[in-house]
Amino acid sequence: MTISTDTGTAPRVALVTGGSGGIGAAVVERLAADGFAVAVHYAGSRDKAEDVARAARDAGATALVVGADVADEDAVATMFDAVERELGGVDVLVHSAGIMLLSPLAELDLDDFDRMHRTNVRGTFVVAKEAVKRLRSGGAIINFSSTVVKLALPTYAAYAATKGAVDAMTMILAKELRGRDITVNAIAPGPTATPLFLDGKPQEAIDRLAAMPPLERLGVPTDIADAVAFLAGRARWVNGQVLYVNGGIA
């Protein structure tokens, strides 16, 4: 295990779910650059997670790859066991794993609704439940919400409903951890150029969404990773909040 040369102590440890690609991969890169040892979680693509971990190691960080179905209690517990065994503990949980399936409400297949609920809602609940048992004092739980909760865009009803549930869990859990010195917040990205966001969208729709922020562009994963790094680092007086990272969309 890598030892920090400037303090002589082991680095803080961050577990990033959904760390194998998109925003999660950018978060791993940023936290590794900030001196964290990182555990890169994947659900379906170990090869991609290995690539992300290898890049973190090449930059001088300690990195571990872990796989789990985030909605499976036993698998999540095993994942935390592996991180504690290999990296010594967990200080920060960044729960970015999620899926997005879009459709007008009246046309949505209920199997798709159930899939999103299982990953986005149950998954957030299960991972947070395990993190509460494991995180060390001074730690942080950072969930992922979405700006679409307040934008109320057509075709996003089911997805936004799952992220509204994340908001509620985040704010309540922050209060339930009174006295633990663990912050609980959520990041709510705006339109961000990731495969999850871009998949299946016509260029006209992408251009329209890019024009919504006053900054007149889509976000990029590093924009979101910067906000995660803020909450994972010295932002100890930010707690129980949903932080909108969306370029100024009202």
Q: Where in the sequence numbering do the catalytic residues fall? A: 159
Query: Exposure string (b/e) for 217-239, b if CB count within 10 Å is 16 or more?
Result: ebbebebbbebbbbbbeebeeeb
243 contacts: CB under 8 Å, gap ≥ 6: 185, 186, 187, 188, 227, 231
Output the 3-class SS for the chain: CCCCCCCCCCCCEEEEECCCCHHHHHHHHHHHHCCCEEEEEECCCHHHHHHHHHHHHHCCCCEEEEECCCCCHHHHHHHHHHHHHHHCCCCEEEECCCCCCCCCHHHCCHHHHHHHHHHHHHHHHHHHHHHHHHCCCCCEEEEECCCHHHHCCCCCHHHHHHHHHHHHHHHHHHHHCCCCCCEEEEEEECCECCHHHHCCCCHHHHHHHHCCCCCCCCECHHHHHHHHHHHHCCCCCCCCCEEEECCCCC
